[in-house]
Amino acid sequence: MAFSRLKEKISFYRNDICTVIISILLFAMAASFLYKYVSENNPKSRKPMVIHMNSFSVSNFNITDSVLEAEWEANLTFENRDACFEISINPLETYLYHKEILLSCTMVESIHLNQRGQKKVLIKAKQSGCRGVKPKLEEPFLSEIRKEKENDGVLMNLEMKMEFAASKHGVGKYWDLSLTPSCSYFKVSFLGATHGKYMGDVMNCPINW
């Protein structure tokens, strides 16, 4: 009699243990699937867009009476590497620096990229491009630019501020991010007194996912 009751208890607890083990396994499988899904659909892991600077040039460069006048032109390629998502970028702001000193800025119209699509964007900026206001430049800074211009080239930095959104057909908006890509520290070599260009290879402009 006692042995029979013991068998019943063992059988009862065995069923509970099996239920717990199965529950743990199902939870682990669900958690693993969720982690894989989230990680694969995270922009930091997918990195759906890349930006390249194909060329950069300057014309009508002139420094007189502590004022720098110039026209800057950058040719960029925005590429959507993702086969699932479309990318939309609101009108974005671009800022051109010599090291840490702002030289010019301008707005670029909105950009839309289909899956696996790309678009070339031409950015043109003048010294008065920052909403009609010329950035104030001090004489020591202008002297430094003169020296770099005469030597191996002027060090430049192109930064962007953009509102990035990715959407999937039938699902709607997936990501909505504020990004600040940067084409950092490239040299503009002057071919004459008033014009110069970036002489290097196509440059990758890292994105802060």
Residues of the chain with pLDDT > 70, as a percent, come to 74
Residue 145: C-alpha distances to residues 72, 102, 182, 197 (Å): 15, 13, 21, 15
pLDDT beyond 60 at 7:
no
Q: Which tokens is 145 given?
A: 């630019």
Is the CB of residue 156 less than 8 Å from the CB of residue 97? yes
Q: Which helix (H) or strand (E) holds 86?
A: strand 86-89
pLDDT beyond 50 at 37:
no
DSSP helix/strand/coil, 131 = coil
Strand partners, 171: none
Its CATH architecture, for the domain 47-204, is: Sandwich (2.60)
| Separation CA 160–CA 179 (nearest Å) | 8
Average pLDDT over residues 158-173: 83
Indicate yes or no: pTM above 0.85: no
